[in-house]
Amino acid sequence: MASLSRIVADIATEMAAAPDRGTPAGYIPPLRDVDPARFGIAVVEADGTVHAAGDADMPFSIQSISKVFTLTLALGTVGDQLWERVGREPSGTAFNSIVQLETERGIPRNPFINAGAIVVADVLLGNHEPRAMIGELLRFVRELADDDRITVDHLVAQAEMATGHRSMALAHFMTAFGTMHHAVDRVLGLYVHQCALAMSCRQLAMAGRFLMARGVNPATGRSVVSPQRARRINALMMMCGHYDGSGEFAYRVGLPGKSGVGGGILAIAPGRAAIAVWSPGLNAVGNSQLGTLALERLVQRTGWSIFDPVP
């Protein structure tokens, strides 16, 4: 096998030249204007070595990747009680779909579709003001990534607050079923700000380290979640992290992963590495076109798919 640095650099070169780059998300105005030529990749190995290439240090809107961090916080707050209000099954429907909610009486299929993440945001609000909870989330992500430069892009948050009619519809619908405990505008305030977290591939891969390391932040040695919880979050990412493209992602990449409509993907090779890729163009189901291809090539060249036999 070529060295990991070589593999990462080669993938960035190949992606820079890729002709079919997908289309940036059009429904959140500031995301529409991001240059589709961008591509970044960062791989943090279990021993802390970082390999990065392309636009790995350029912050982008992490959007639904934030759902991994809010799920982690919500499980820390209410534990398994969370599963009374949100399921753990793949949805097989689009990220913003409302159809299952009616037949399943306002309980979203999983915490990674928009409806599920809105319930998680509702859980996190607890007795907090949205602003305080956004601050807590930012502190959590900065600590995980060991990087205080991470911020929320308020323009992206405002744009989504102004245009996020589907998310508001989901929240109101779930309120009618009694799933939500707080006012819709307060929950959406938290939700759009978590989605507007701006992080680079390097920062995102660093923040994902605890998921490859049995729940421990390898830099501090401190436990973020128990080994069992880390394993379970990875299982949810594997089954539900790419919406109705989750099966295809498992087939092609074979790693727990979470995508966002900003074009980022956080993927975890348990025991080996935390990986972040970013390219703004999306495929038909809203997952990064080149991000997925880059991860597919990475696992082909490293043998890191969780379905590859352990050497």
Point out which residues bind ligand GLU (CB under 6 A).
Answer: 63-64, 95-96, 114, 160, 167, 195, 260-261, 286
- 168 CB-contact burial (10 Å; exposed 0-12 / middle 13-18 / buried 19+): middle
What three-state secondary structure class fits 155? helix
CB of 114 to ligand GLU, least distance (A): 5
Question: In this structure, what token pair is assigned to residue 297?
Answer: 């090539």
Answer yes or no: are the C-beta atoms of 148 and 142 closer than 8 Å: yes
Answer yes or no: are the C-beta atoms of 72 and 211 closer than 8 Å: no
Question: In this structure, what token pair is assigned to residue 239?
Answer: 């089954």
- Active-site residue, from 64, 97, 200, 279: 64
CB of 261 to ligand GLU, least distance (A): 4
Q: Which is nearer to ligand GLU, 75 or 196 (CB)?
A: 196
Q: Is 258 a catalytic residue?
A: no
CB of 167 to ligand GLU, least distance (A): 5
β partners of residue 40: 54, 278
CB of 160 to ligand GLU, least distance (A): 6
Q: Is 251 a catalytic residue?
A: no
Q: Is 279 a catalytic residue?
A: no
Q: Which is nearer to ligand GLU, 11 or 188 (CB)?
A: 188
Q: Which is nearer to ligand GLU, 45 or 153 (CB)?
A: 153
For residue 41, what is the enclosing H or E element? Answer: strand 40-45
**Overall residue count recorded for the chain in this entry:** 311
- Active-site residue, from 243, 246, 279, 288: 243
CB of 23 to ligand GLU, least distance (A): 14
- Active-site residue, from 44, 67, 141, 225: 67
CB burial string 195-204: b at 16+ within 10 A, e below: bbbbbbbbbb
> Where does the chain have alpha helices with state H?
4-16, 29-32, 66-78, 99-103, 114-125, 130-145, 154-163, 165-177, 184-195, 201-207, 209-212, 227-240, 246-252, 289-302
Q: Residue 252 — left, alpha, or beta (φ > 0 → left; ψ -120 to 50 → alpha)?
A: alpha
Q: Which is nearer to ligand GLU, 59 or 260 (CB)?
A: 260
Closest CA to 28 of 113, 125, 96, 117: 96
Q: Which is nearer to ligand GLU, 108 or 215 (CB)?
A: 108
CB of 195 to ligand GLU, least distance (A): 4
β partners of residue 282: 23, 288
Q: Which is nearer to ligand GLU, 8 or 119 (CB)?
A: 119
Answer yes or no: are the C-beta atoms of 181 and 111 closer than 8 Å: no
Q: Is 67 a catalytic residue?
A: yes
Q: Is 243 a catalytic residue?
A: yes
- Active-site residue, from 261, 277, 288, 305: 261
Q: Residue 23 — left, alpha, or beta (φ > 0 → left; ψ -120 to 50 → alpha)?
A: beta
Active site residues: 64, 67, 191, 243, 261
